[in-house]
Chains A and B, each alone.
Chain A
Amino acid sequence: MSRLPIYLNEALREFRQTVSGPQIPLMVLGLVGYLLIVVTRADYMREMGAADITRNSPHLVYLMTTGEGFWLAFAFAWVFAQIVTRDQDAKLHEIVLAAPVSLHGLLVARFAGAFLVACMLGLATPLAFLLVPSLESIGALPAGSVGPTPWHAIVWSFGVFVIPTALGLGALYTAIAIRTRSVAGPFAAAAAVAIVWMVAMVIIRGGGLDRELATWLDPTAYAEAEHQAERWTPAEKMSSLLAFTAPLAVNRLLWTVTPLVYFVWTLTRLHRESLTIGRARKARSSRRSRPVPPAEGPIPARAFTARSWWRGALSEAVWHFALSTRGWGFRLIAFLLFVVGVAGSVVHLVAHIDGPFVPRPEVLTPLLADFSFVGIVFVIAGLVGVMARRDDCLGFVEISDSAPAPIWVRVVGRTFAAAMLTLILACVPMLSGWVVTAVFAPESFSLVTPFSFAMLSFFPGLLEVCAITLLVHALIRSAGVAHALTMLLAFIAVINHEVSLVSYPPYQVAIPTHVTLSELTGFGAWWGPVLVADAFKLGIVALCISGAWIAWRRGTAQTVTDRIALAARRVRAGAGVLGVAAMALLFASGSVLHDRLVVRGEFANVEEERREQAEWERRWWRHAASFSVRGGEFAAVLHPSTREFEAKWLLYGVRSDTHQIHLGLPHGVTLDGARSSRGALQAEEAFDHAVVHLGSCDPDCDVELSLSGRLDGWPVDDRQPWISRAGVDARASDFVPMLGHDAARVLRGEAVRAAHGLPPVGRSHLPRAFRSAHGVAPVGDWKVEIVVDDTERTVVLSEVRRGPLDFAVAWPSERTQKTVRGPLAAHHGPTHAATATELLEDTEAMKVCVEEALGQRVDVSVVHQAPRALGPLAVHGTTLWVPEDEGWDAGSLGVSRWQRRAEVAQALAAYALASDANLRTEPGFRWLTDGLAGWIGLECVRMHDGTEAWQALMERKSDRIVEALGALDAPIVGFASDGEADWVPEYAPLAAQGWAMSLGKDAAIRRVAELRASLQEGQSVVDALQQTLGMRQAAVILGPPHASDVSVGETDAGIVLARGSRWTWGGGGWRDRSNVDRFIGVADESDEAFRALDPSSALDGRNTVAVFDAWPSFERALQDNFRVEGSDDAGGPR
């Protein structure tokens, strides 16, 4: 008799049994709902590089299908565990195993049924994308934001990602379930899979070790999908099919065939006996208890008092905590997280491809927390869930429920135990950090900084995960549903952490509190925001615990009325007090946060920011007019203790076409009044913008502005405040209004503008209407005096200079040390002395290089270590402003050092070009400040460090351009028009270098000099470029971006030739492909390195090390542009 119908029936039964419970529908609906919410969020789409494309593009299908793989890895663990555990739970396993059917056939049939369930779970993403058009029809998405259903991408993703993953992980989990006969086994395997994912994504890929290896190891194949998709242009994102590359093929084989082989091997060794008899049990535990004491005297009477119950709760907490941490599983997970932390730190900093970087606690601690978060969140959700369900054992629920201990004893006991468990996990990255710092940067070792961060930033967010997990398990009777839901919530927390779906800090549940650590300011500026944010998180935790207390199950067969009555009793018994206290804490801390972040601070979500930009544009943009100023005096008194200042700004010789001067006001700054020699002047202020009506004073008016500032808001976006009790680290732009109109505030993108009622961007204003390209006011004779009024008045800056108005001030000076090298001095923290010496060397060398290139010496005398995340590396007056993350983390050798030299040279060159030409932020100005300055930065590194360093920097810049073009937030119009777009500063240096190489270095420098001369004569950037470079070249430079792909190849005859193509951006992608008609050969590090090459000529010159397109473009793939010097072999970089 054929057994096939039996097995088919068994497979079908397995499928039906698994999907008949609430778990699967809940998981599918939860995931579909979540994905639909995600696609409706414009800011989330922007984070995924999908701002400029349809909401159901193939690009999103690939990313979301592979992204959900991380969560499916846990969901599959439950699905495939049922194959073995369902019969055991029902005590039917012996009956089933006694049936006259093949055991192997039975398990394979069940595996097939579970596989169908897994595929059903994997259908959640396709289902969500099929439903996206309905969001448009109900108005949840803007009209036109949904494209045709991406069938090809859906089918491809399902076939390449979902089915192999379901097969492979399913086989792995089934084999583990057979061996362990428990759900815990497959879940432990899922945790191991998650750790492998972390190693692949965080250490290998994030650390830039080996992309292909990362793709192989990544169980979800997200690494490959992201790698391909992030390099796509918007047009490609909406149409491309993911390439089935060799690494992807290896990945699929590795994660499908290997587990299947393991599954088959497990089956071949399996006998009924091993599934019938329990696991080989230990006859005794390893630890025997102390000898039995003699029964002396009566057992003490029970003390049913609150105090005794608190002792009971404490015992309960210790017991649960000990039980959770005693097993090898927890210790292994903690150890692996520790090892991943150490290894991740090494590859991300010490041995990073862009490094080395010094692993100081300020950079290492948040980094470790960041990449440990993914694993720790899932571990907490799993372990706390197990703890919550520990008594769910036949009979023990009833025994617990009939015990006299109030329910709060059990809830509080578990809460404390779960909190202790969470605390241990929150401290694991701290331990990794201590070890790495002690080994690689002992001079920076700190116990306090990582500990403070772990306690105040990392732990509170994780505690929310812990409390939510307890609440879910209290609310939901079915353990399977509760575990599924907590895993889904953990997945959502991870996604929010990765792409910041929720931007308002208090609503960032489960996400660590934002802190930017700095050696100079420590936690100084963050105590307030962090403690209040933590209080808010504590309120959420308390609310969840109150809810868990109210909802915790006690007893059986309760009706809704019974549960409500029970809940009411618990509310009266104390849960209500806890809930009210939690709400009060939430309300109080939430009010403070709203006041400090929104009312007094700068927080606004993307939509609010755009709305304000639109309002600003409607109100002020059309009033822009050319203005000029001869110079003036700026005097300010800063009060760090109250975070206030007042200032007087005298502007001499003000001229304006419309008899108005416009001022962009930094956050917190108010224009209190304006006067001229003839009396008070009328002023208006709105949307952080002020206008002063000059009236009859114009022309050549002297104006006195009275300013004040109060910065009692709290920092957002991890930005350090420039003034706090911890000190002052300020640039002029932090508190001095900017004269002129700021083009950066104009909304970009026709669709966005239309949505806010704005017409397409018209003709630009006259160049002299814009703010200065450097500092806060155009070139003039400026006198500046800055006083800090704390316990005593200290003059921190007093100078008279000609140039754009810009300066930097720092206070108190005692917190920094001074390292002097010739005319240069570095002001730095105590652990940065060695770096300071190197930075001074770099600055000195780059000053010489820039002077040689531009013929102008930049007068920088101080290199200042600014707190982390306080602006970019730049010249401000006579100070080279170097925030900790922009130069002080670099190592002594390698790419990070080269990168810093290039940035220093670029900053010096940008200052020279902008100040010399009195440059405004007019269309095309970035060709000078980012393009030519960036090229000079690269060129200085080439001259100073050689071709290898130059190539390394170009490769990274090229990668960043591709990423920036893949993450556009508005369609590209052109270089001149998109001055504030993220892609412009990335693209400009390589395009300028392409232009310079096409001319040759000396010729390019001569043209730059001519350009500067034209600008000094008052021409606009566009006019000057047209005059200097010609109309055609200027159009190429100021238009959409260009890309080239040149390769050095060998013909059959052994002749080495260069080939190449070039493209221009259009319609959301690269278009107008043509062959490269002129090449540039780069010979060596000499000034005359660039040689024009004929496309048909063989590269037999033994000095030619690289070939590029003679065209203002960036090279898309640099690896094949270089050839080994001294040989005819073409190939990769040296």
Chain B
Amino acid sequence: MLETHRLTKTYSNGVHALSDVSLDVGPGLYGLLGPNGAGKSTLMRTLATLQLPDAGTIRFGDIDVLSQPDELRKLLGYLPQQIGAYPGVTAESLLERFAWLHGNTDRKGRRREVMELLDKVNLTEFRSQLVSTYSGGMLRRFGIALALLGSPRLLIVDEPTAGLDPAERDRFHRVLADVAADALVLLSTHIVEDVEHLCGRLSIMSEGRIVAEGTPAELRHPLEGKLWTSTIPRGGRLPEALHLAARPNGTAVVVHADKPPGQSWALREPTLQDAYHAALREQLSSPS
């Protein structure tokens, strides 16, 4: 449904943000993982018609996105990484305003859509409050409502759950899952758990490239029987690890090896986070 072919983007300061990025994404939730500076936001903005690649193609169904950006926008919902406090206007008014920018020019229908969305993101009670007075979490929820305007067929959300409390996060996951029932949702995040629980497929990006692509299980599978974990007391020598995590009694270390590095090491069931680190590590060690 969404196909990108060899997308390349180099900024004027010389940063290669995208290098030959090719994706083939079907309906449902699709995750995009990657460290800071991996090119996720560039890819998101490019897919959201906000910037143009230097080379490559993008298609969404029958739409050639680069030559028909307006056609894609009719099907698009986009939530950027951060949204600020829009001054001097209530949530209801602002949402209604963006509704007509999404083509909903029928007043009654527009109001109904706005109320539904406010209800969906749990802001009905605060609809008459100035957006500039919203807390960070409320702003995030409001942003989600904005992204859902017009029942998008392609929803691009960049770090949507950052700043949400667990209950709101779960609520949002349910919203995304509902949308993904008959649309394509592209979810970019640092929170691997979100992708693992929600997304049928995902890509891992690093330095502007797709370094791994598949279902969570497919990405975990190569690591089965090869991950070992141990907790090294504070002050102890840390081995070369796939990733490290702080624990109350020291540092939890996960290493990727065919055999356990020592006696205290236990076999670890691979997670998507392990796959993510493994993919990045592979990218770093490969001659680019």
The answer to whether A and B belong to the same complex is yes
Q: In this assembly, does A319 line the interface, its C-beta being within 8 Å of a C-beta of chain B?
A: yes
Are B45 and A300 closer than 8 Å at their CB atoms?
Answer: no
Are A396 and B86 closer than 8 Å at their CB atoms?
Answer: yes
Say how far B22's CB is from chain A's closest CB, in angstroms.
21
Binds A, one of B123-131, B212-220, B227-235: B123-131
Among A315, A395, A403, which residue has its beta carbon within 8 angstroms of that of B84?
A: A395
Residue of A nearest to B109 (CB): A300
Q: In this assembly, does A1051 line the interface, its C-beta being within 8 Å of a C-beta of chain B?
A: no
Complex CA–CA separation, A557 to B53 (angstroms): 10
Complex CA–CA separation, A663 to B48 (angstroms): 77
Q: In this assembly, does A284 line the interface, its C-beta being within 8 Å of a C-beta of chain B?
A: yes
Max chain A Cβ within 10 angstroms of own Cβ: one of B11, B111, B118: B111
Q: In this assembly, does A269 line the interface, its C-beta being within 8 Å of a C-beta of chain B?
A: no
Query: How many residues on chain B are close to A (CB under 8 Å)?
Result: 57
Say how far B130's CB is from chain A's closest CB, in angstroms.
5
Q: In this assembly, does B1 line the interface, its C-beta being within 8 Å of a C-beta of chain A?
A: no
Are B73 and A323 closer than 8 Å at their CB atoms?
Answer: no
Q: With A292-B124, A311-B100 known to touch, is A398 a contact of B50 (CB < 8 Å)?
A: yes
Complex CA–CA separation, A281 to B87 (angstroms): 12
Are B70 and A406 closer than 8 Å at their CB atoms?
Answer: yes
Residues in B neighbouring A283, C-beta threshold 8 A: 129, 133
Say how far B74's CB is from chain A's closest CB, in angstroms.
4
Are A285 and B103 closer than 8 Å at their CB atoms?
Answer: no
Q: In this assembly, does B36 line the interface, its C-beta being within 8 Å of a C-beta of chain A?
A: no
Max chain B Cβ within 10 angstroms of own Cβ: one of A287, A304, A399, A554: A399
Q: With A302-B150, A395-B143, A399-B98 known to touch, is A323 a contact of B105 (CB < 8 Å)?
A: no
Say how far B221's CB is from chain A's closest CB, in angstroms.
36
Q: With A283-B133, A295-B112 known to touch, is A312 a contact of B83 (CB < 8 Å)?
A: no
Among A295, A406, A562, which residue has its beta carbon within 8 angstroms of that of B115?
A: A295
Residues in A neighbouring B50, C-beta threshold 8 A: 398, 401-402, 554-556
Say how far B104's CB is from chain A's closest CB, in angstroms.
6
Binds A, one of B88-96, B172-180, B269-277: B88-96
Query: How many residues on chain A are close to B (CB under 8 Å)?
Result: 49
Interface bits A388-402 vs B (CB < 8 Å: 1, else 0): 000001111011111
Among B51, B97, B112, which residue has its beta carbon within 8 angstroms of that of A296?
A: B112
Among B83, B88, B102, B112, which residue has its beta carbon within 8 angstroms of that of A404?
A: B102
Residues in B neighbouring A287, C-beta threshold 8 A: 128
Q: In this assembly, does A763 line the interface, its C-beta being within 8 Å of a C-beta of chain B?
A: no
Complex CA–CA separation, A402 to B85 (angstroms): 19
Are A284 and B102 closer than 8 Å at their CB atoms?
Answer: no
Q: State which residues 152-172 of B face A: CB under 8 Å.
A: none
Q: In this assembly, does A558 line the interface, its C-beta being within 8 Å of a C-beta of chain B?
A: yes
Say how far A1008's CB is from chain B's closest CB, in angstroms.
74
Residues in A neighbouring B73, C-beta threshold 8 A: 402-404
Residues in B neighbouring A281, C-beta threshold 8 A: 130, 132-133
Q: In this assembly, does B246 line the interface, its C-beta being within 8 Å of a C-beta of chain A?
A: no
Complex CA–CA separation, A555 to B150 (angstroms): 20
Are B92 and A393 closer than 8 Å at their CB atoms?
Answer: no
Say how far A1077's CB is from chain B's closest CB, in angstroms.
74
Q: In this assembly, does B122 line the interface, its C-beta being within 8 Å of a C-beta of chain A?
A: no
Among A282, A393, A400, which residue has its beta carbon within 8 angstroms of that of B101?
A: A400
Q: In this assembly, does A2 line the interface, its C-beta being within 8 Å of a C-beta of chain B?
A: no
Say how far A295's CB is from chain B's closest CB, in angstroms.
5
Q: In this assembly, does B57 line the interface, its C-beta being within 8 Å of a C-beta of chain A?
A: no
Complex CA–CA separation, A394 to B140 (angstroms): 12
Q: In this assembly, does B80 line the interface, its C-beta being within 8 Å of a C-beta of chain A?
A: yes
Q: In this assembly, does A368 line the interface, its C-beta being within 8 Å of a C-beta of chain B?
A: no
Residues in B neighbouring A292, C-beta threshold 8 A: 115, 118-119, 124, 127
Residues in A neighbouring B151, C-beta threshold 8 A: 299
Say how far B77's CB is from chain A's closest CB, in angstroms.
8
Are A315 and B112 closer than 8 Å at their CB atoms?
Answer: no
Q: With A285-B128, A323-B89 known to touch, is A402 a contact of B78 (CB < 8 Å)?
A: yes
Among B88, B100, B113, which residue has its beta carbon within 8 angstroms of that of A405?
A: B100
Q: In this assembly, does B253 line the interface, its C-beta being within 8 Å of a C-beta of chain A?
A: no
Pairs of residues from A and B, 3 with the lowest C-beta to C-beta distance, nearest first: A395-B83, A394-B84, A302-B103
Binding site for B on A (CB under 8 A): 281-285, 287-289, 292-293, 295-296, 299-300, 302-304, 308-309, 311-312, 315-316, 319, 323, 326-327, 393-396, 398-406, 409-410, 554-559, 562
Q: List 8 A-B contacts (CB under 8 A).
A: A292-B118, A293-B112, A311-B105, A396-B84, A399-B79, A399-B147, A401-B49, A555-B50
